[in-house]
Amino acid sequence: MTNPSANREVPSLPTPISEDQIKRVISVTGNLPPVPHVAAKMMELVGNEDTSVRDLQKVISSDQALTARILKMSNSVFYSFDQKITTLSHAIVILGFRAVQSMAIAASSRSLFVKKGAQFGLKEKLLWEHSIGVAMGCRQVSRVIAYEGEETAFIVGLLHDIGKAVLNQVIPKKYGKIVEQVYNDGRSFAEVETEILGFDHSHIGALIAQKWNFDWEMVETIAYHHRPEAKDHGGTLGAILSVSNHICKRMGIGLEKVEGEAPLSDVWGAQALGLDETACVDIREVLKSVLEEEKKLYDM
């Protein structure tokens, strides 16, 4: 499957660094991670109008562990169906191609947060936990505003911080110092990363999304997730991610926490979507009620 984003320049960020410079840094420390095999095949199939339920079923069933996890996810509280889903074909028909695709990506993405053979330590756990929380938050915000791209929002939420995971793998000692400074100085990851590395995780995340042939809106949303209000880059998807990311940080989900009692509706994304404080609090409470149960589906 070809994607026009593959040949487009990654959006320039406030940090004065080119795509070539970032690629050079990654080439020294390690290659950008490839999209997991089954997830790649899923993206190719979902983008093809001729794909059948049988086609998707064949790809997923080639991985027994993935099959079991998708069936488990299909019966999670977030989908709330009256009948239990017991087969892949049933899951695909009931949930739809894109929902099952996002499950496959989610189920196979955990490995991206820890180097092969390395321990899944506290830092990796918190990065993964934040990604899961933001993904579920994006799904809930999408439902509240009746956004048709719910599964796209879920994937963007899941992978918005993939740049952090890659940096943590390829330069673990240096990234450990970055984490320490974020905690000790109360500054943002983007700020400390830029100071120490000359670029931040959002640009690397965008490069990865581009390499994986995500559509351009997804690439741009990941690139700008720390400044989604930037002109021409703050669409609905960026606003959804903004709300979910902020709520998760306020809840203390992940490495970076936001203190304070300012209204959740003050965040740019909430204002862009027309979400008042009651709506934002309701989203937070839904996330609270399902998070612990949902985390079990992702080996947490």
What is the per-residue pLDDT across 131-148, written as a single tens digit (0 to 9) for each? 999 999 999 999 999 999
Token pair of 151 as six digits? 């599964």
Q: Which residue numbers in the chain have pLDDT < 50?
A: 1-2, 13-16, 28
Q: Which domains does the chain have, with CATH numbers?
A: 29-112 (no CATH), 114-300 (1.10.3210.10)
pLDDT at 16: 43
Secondary structure percentages of the chain, helix, strand, coil, to 5: 65, 0, 35
pLDDT at 14: 43
pLDDT at 286: 95
pLDDT at 19: 63
d(CA 181, CA 188): 9
pLDDT tens-digit map of 85-118:
889 888 888 888 888 888 888 877 877 877 666 6
Tell me the whole-structure pTM to 2 decimals: 0.84
d(CA 63, CA 206): 28
| 39 CB neighbour count, 10 Å cutoff | 23
Token pair of 64 as six digits? 């027994």
d(CA 261, CA 184): 21
* Residue 69 neighbours by CB under 8 Å, 6+ apart: 103, 107, 297
